[in-house]
Amino acid sequence: MGKTGVTGIKRIINAAGYSWKGICSAYKHEAAFRQELWMAAALIPAGIFLGESVLDKAVLVCSVLFVLVVELLNSAIESVVDRISDEHHELAGRAKDMGSAAVLFALIITAIAWAAVLFEHPPAAF
């Protein structure tokens, strides 16, 4: 991992590298993350186009990014649980289920945000 004592711009560069490595790992190993990333690739430009105000655009884009953040955390939980043991354990199952529930709530939040913004300012095509 990282060296201790690294500060300043070098620490930021290292952190960005680890972040990119995490994104690539999630894309390679997690089907749900791939699906949500492709969904984000479509929804983020749509949110920028459909949002009437800067606030609308921010709500639409950030709600989609929120799903990716929660999915990354869920995948991290699953990886740690799987690393600890292959055996089924009630607490391991509970941790994985809770991570999955968090993703579900993130998706619901995104759907509510999009519905609210689009209901408030329906696109001309509707």
Determine what percent of the chain falls in helix, strand and coil, rounding each to the nearest 5. Answer: 85, 0, 15
CB atoms within 10 A of CB 100: 15
Instruction: Let me know if 90 is a catalytic residue.
Output: no
Catalytic position from the list 71, 78, 87, 90: 71
Enumerate residues 6+ apart whose C-beta is below 8 A from 84.
92
**Residue 55 in tokens:** 């606030």
What amino acid occupies position 45? P
Indicate which residues carry an active-site annotation: 71
